């Protein structure tokens, strides 16, 4: 070994492929780092998407539906006699006697009572005497007129005198006619001493008694009897304005009265006032009820049930879909882009869990059920669930 070999440090021979391995290792490290950074970026983007989706509110939707079933409407009603007449006296006097009392059935023209009229009787006698006098004077002037006509033919009297006698005869005939008319008038009044029933019916009131002073006239409280025709009854019902267009002439109704529990009576709507009362906001309708059995009484009250046909315009939605905003009562609906749009509505009837909407919605609308207070128009939402029975939900 030489001195140079001793002074030169010992050098280890490196493999010839070490450089290649080092480059490959560095490339692999860079690849792993790049893949890690790319995966992390993708995860970050996915997390951002998830976070954005979490900010979109999930809502449940429902669609309005038509109310197809028949709706029952029960209202109070008042029964009245089909015909009702208060019978007054046409002549003054004293009640001689009455022959029927309340609840008695009567026929048209049947005697109800007799009135004693001494003053009227004397007036009739005086008028008949006046008629006799007028007829006697007429006969005398007739004879005189004939005689003067004969004398005129022989020129024993003047034409003027004969005409005067003829005129006097015509005047006497007029007096007879006037006296006869007065007699007929008093005889007609005499016939009113008999108080008779105006039609077949029942005496529902008697407001006089034997010996009572009778005053002629129709002032309130002066009626002697009240007669009602109760074989049919009129039933009056005040219908709320919101139902007025659904109550039509000819429709049937069922009547229940307290004294006949569990029993119903059929009624037919015959008239409609076609006017809304300013005081009650209702429309008065009249129904006819057959009362051949006499079970129903005029003047009583009962419950009247109408089976109303479905309203072809109003729709039903859950009451929980209603919101109260500063613009008024409204509901939140969805647009085709799943954006919130508030719609103003009008309620026709509150049915409890559901409400009937008169205007503002159609069956094609998608309504958000239980919308939160912070939901605003234009907000993007996604549909979590659509109500059963509704049309296909809007796809998110």
- Reported as a single tens digit per residue, the pLDDT across 323-362 is 888 878 888 888 888 888 888 888 877 878 888 887 888 8
Q: How far apart are CA 376 and CA 61, in angstroms?
A: 16
Whether residue 289 contacts residue 339, with contact meaning beta carbons closer than 8 Å, is answered with: no
Considering 180, 196, 212, which residue would you say is the last residue of a domain? Answer: 196
Name the average pLDDT for the chain: 83
Considering 162, 196, 230, which residue would you say is the last residue of a domain? Answer: 196
For 335, the 3-state DSSP assignment is coil
Residues 328 and 381 in one domain: yes
- Reported as a single tens digit per residue, the pLDDT across 242-256 is 888 888 899 999 999
Residue 285 lies in a domain: no
Domain limits for position 368: 57-68+313-386
Average of per-residue pLDDT across 47-67: 70
State residue 253's pLDDT score: 95
Q: How far apart are CA 183 and CA 193, in angstroms?
A: 16
Considering 179, 196, 213, which residue would you say is the last residue of a domain? Answer: 196
Q: What is the CATH number of the domain that holds 115?
A: 1.10.287.470
Predicted structure pTM score: 0.61
Residue 111 lies in a domain: yes
The set of residues, in sequence order, having a beta carbon less than 8 Å from that of 200 and lying 6+ positions away, is 105, 106, 107, 108, 229, 231
Whether residue 275 contacts residue 255, with contact meaning beta carbons closer than 8 Å, is answered with: no
State residue 175's pLDDT score: 93
Alpha carbon separation from 69 to 66, 166, 221, 248, 269 (Å, rounded): 9, 90, 51, 18, 21
Residue 81 lies in a domain: no
Residue 225 lies in a domain: no
Q: Above 50 in pLDDT, residue 390? A: no
Residues 61 and 121 in one domain: no
Residue 22 lies in a domain: no
Residues 62 and 155 in one domain: no
Residue 282 lies in a domain: no
Please count the structural domains in the chain. Answer: 2
Q: How confident is the model at residue 183 (pLDDT cuts 50, 70, 90)?
A: very high
Residue 349 lies in a domain: yes
Average of per-residue pLDDT across 56-83: 85
Q: Is 306 exposed, middle or buried (0-12, 13-18, 19+ CB in 10 A)?
A: buried
β pairing state of 328-334 and 340-344: antiparallel
Q: What is the CATH number of the domain that holds 370?
A: 2.40.420.20
Residue 170 lies in a domain: yes
């Amino acid at each position: 070994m030489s001195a140079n070999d001793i002074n030169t440090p010992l050098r280890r021979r490196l493999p010839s492929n070490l450089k290649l391995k080092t480059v490959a290792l560095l490339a692999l490290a860079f690849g792993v780092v790049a893949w890690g950074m790319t995966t992390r970026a993708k995860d970050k983007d996915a997390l951002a998407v998830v976070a954005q989706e979490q900010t979109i509110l999930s809502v449940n939707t429902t669609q309005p539906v038509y109310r197809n079933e028949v709706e029952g409407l029960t209202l109070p009603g008042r029964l009245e006699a089909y015909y009702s007449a208060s019978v007054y006296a046409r002549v003054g006097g004293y009640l001689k006697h009455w022959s029927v009392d309340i609840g008695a059935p009567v026929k048209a023209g049947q005697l109800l009572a007799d009135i004693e009229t001494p003053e009227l009787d004397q007036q009739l006698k005086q008028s008949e005497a006046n008629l006799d006098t007028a007829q006697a004077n007429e006969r005398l002037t007739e004879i005189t007129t004939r005689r003067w006509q004969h004398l005129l033919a022989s020129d024993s009297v003047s034409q003027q005198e004969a005409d005067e006698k003829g005129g006097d005869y015509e005047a006497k005939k007029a007096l007879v006619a006037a006296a006869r008319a007065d007699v007929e008038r008093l005889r007609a009044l005499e016939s009113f001493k008999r108080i008779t029933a105006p039609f077949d019916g029942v005496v529902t009131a008697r407001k006089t008694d034997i010996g009572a002073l009778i005053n002629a006239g129709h002032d309130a409280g002066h009626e002697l009897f009240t007669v009602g025709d109760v074989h049919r009854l009129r039933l009056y019902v005040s219908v709320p304005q919101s139902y007025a267009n659904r109550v039509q002439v000819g429709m049937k109704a069922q009547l229940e009265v307290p004294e006949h529990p569990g029993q119903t009576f059929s009624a037919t709507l015959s008239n409609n006032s076609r006017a809304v009362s300013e005081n009650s906001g209702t429309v008065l309708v009249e129904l006819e009820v057959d009362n051949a059995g006499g079970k129903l009484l005029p003047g009583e009250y009962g419950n009247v049930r109408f089976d109303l046909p479905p309203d072809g315009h109003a729709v039903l939605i859950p009451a929980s879909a209603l919101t109260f905003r500063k613009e008024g009562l409204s509901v939140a609906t969805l647009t085709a882009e799943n954006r919130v749009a508030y719609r103003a509505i009008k309620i026709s009837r509150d049915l409890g869990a559901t409400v009937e909407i008169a205007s503002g919605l159609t069956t094609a609308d998608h309504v958000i059920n239980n919308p939160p207070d912070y939901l605003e128009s234009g907000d993007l939402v996604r549909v979590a669930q659509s109500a059963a029975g509704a049309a296909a939900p809007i796809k998110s």
